[in-house]
Structure 1
Amino acid sequence: MRVNLTVNGRPRTADDVWPGESLLYVLRERLGLPGAKNACEQGECGSCTVRLDGDLVCACLVAAASAEGGEVRTVEGLAADGARLAPVQQAFVDAGAVQCGFCTPGLLMATDDLLTRLPRPADADIREALSGNLCRCTGYEKILDAVRLAAERIAEGAPSGGTGPEADPAGGTDREAGR
C-alpha cells in the first residue's frame, strides 16, 4: 500500500508499505529519516518519539497506514529553515546532556513539545514531560539543565523550533543534531 504523509512540512510518499509496518520503520527505512531510534519496540523508552498531527507518539507503536494523510514532525524537523540546530538541540549540546545520543531524539521532541505548551516550566513539569523517555547514560541532571537552558533561551527570543529541513543543512554530526 502507499502511505502519504507530510513530514517536517514536506509531502512524502512511502510505497509498498505492508499493513503492519510501523511509522518508525517507514520514517527510518523508507523515507531516510534516521533521527527517531528503534530501541524497545514497545513504546517504553521514548527514543522513537515524533509528533503526529500535533501529538507526541511512540512511532514504533503507530501503524504507518493509520498515519495516512497525517502531519509528522521528527527531530530532523526541529530546526527552522536555514538553522543548523533548534534552540532545544543547541541547549542539549551546550549543557552536555548528550552522551551516547540514542535517547536524545525522543528527549528533544518531548522538550520541544513541553516548551511549546509551557514556555516557563517548573522542574515538576519538566520531569513529567520527560517521564516517557529513558536514558541509560546520564543521571538526568544534565538533561534537566538542558531543558531549563532551552526555556531560558526561548524566553529571551530564540524560536522554539519550526518545520525545518529533513537533514542538517550545515552538515553537523548526527550526535549534535540529536540523531
Structure 2
Amino acid sequence: MKLLILDRDGVINLDSDEYIKSLDEWIPIPSAIAAIARLSQAGWTVAVATNQSGVARGYYDLATLESMHARLRELVAEQGGELGLIVYCPHGPDEGCDCRKPKPGMLRQIAAHYDRPLQGVWFVGDSKGDLEAALAVDCQPVLVKTGKGERTLAKPLPEGTLVFDDLAAVAAHLLT
C-alpha cells in the first residue's frame, strides 16, 4: 500500500491564525484537492492527521468539524478521487494528550488503521510540529510552503526534511 499522510490546515485548505471555525471559513486550496484526487486515482491512500484545538477552545463543535471533513471528501470525490482516514486531535495544548502534534498519536492511529508500519511514509505538513511528529514515528518529514510553511522554513528544519511549494508539487513528484 502506498500511503501518504497530510496535515489539513495550510496544506489542504487555507489556514488562519484565528482558526477555521465554520464550513464557510474552510476554504480549500484548489490545487491541493486536485492533487489528492490524482494521488488516489494512481493508487495512493491519502490520510489526514490534524490538530483541531478549536474544539477544546469552544470555537466550533464536532459537528462543524465533521461538516468540513465531509466537504473535503465531497470535493475530492467530485474530481474522481477518494480520501482515506481522517484523524484529529480535539484537545487543547495543555491537556497532555498523546495525539496532539508534535506527539505522534494520530500517526500511530493511522498506522494501526491501515495495519502498516510508518517507516519512510511521507507526512506532509506546514509546521515544525508536523515535522517533529513525522520524525517521532520514522516518517519522512515533508514541508510545504503554503499555510505556515514559509514561517517554518525561516527556522532550522529537522535533518532530511523535504521541501515543496505546495501539495500539488508533492503529488507531481510522487507521480513521476
Higher strand share: 2
Instruction: State TM-score, norm by structure 2.
Output: 0.26
Higher relative contact order (CA 8 A, sep 6+): 1
TM-score normalised by length of structure 1: 0.26
